[in-house]
């Protein structure tokens, strides 16, 4: 079943997540050049941002 929303992948806080493009634009989020949906049109789950060793990376500015 196709999805009625146009999803984009964005970085929000310490996670990457799939959001509707209208929500991402209204929130002023930067769209990543990554797929946002799976082969069935469902949004991909949120993933924490990690380094190459798989440890969480804090993106908060001091």
Instruction: Please list the pLDDT of the chain residue by residue as tens digits (62 residues).
Output: 455 679 999 998 888 999 999 999 999 999 999 999 999 989 999 988 888 888 877 766 43
* pTM beyond cutoff 0.95: no
Domain count, the chain: 1
Q: Is 37 exposed, middle or buried (0-12, 13-18, 19+ CB in 10 A)?
A: middle
Torsion of CA 38, 42, 47, 51, to 10 degrees: 20
pLDDT of residue 36: 95
Count the helix, strand and coil residues of the chain and give each as a percent rounded to the nearest 5.
Answer: 10, 30, 55
Please give the residue range of the domain that contains residue 41. Answer: 1-62
Q: What is the DSSP letter of 5?
A: S
């Amino acid at each position: 079943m196709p999805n009625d929303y146009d999803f984009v992948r964005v970085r929000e806080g310490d996670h990457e997540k799939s959001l509707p493009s209208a929500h991402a634009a209204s929130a002023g989020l930067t769209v990543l050049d990554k797929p946002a949906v799976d082969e069935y049109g469902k949004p991909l789950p949120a993933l924490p941002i990690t380094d190459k060793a798989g440890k969480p990376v804090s993106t908060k500015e001091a």
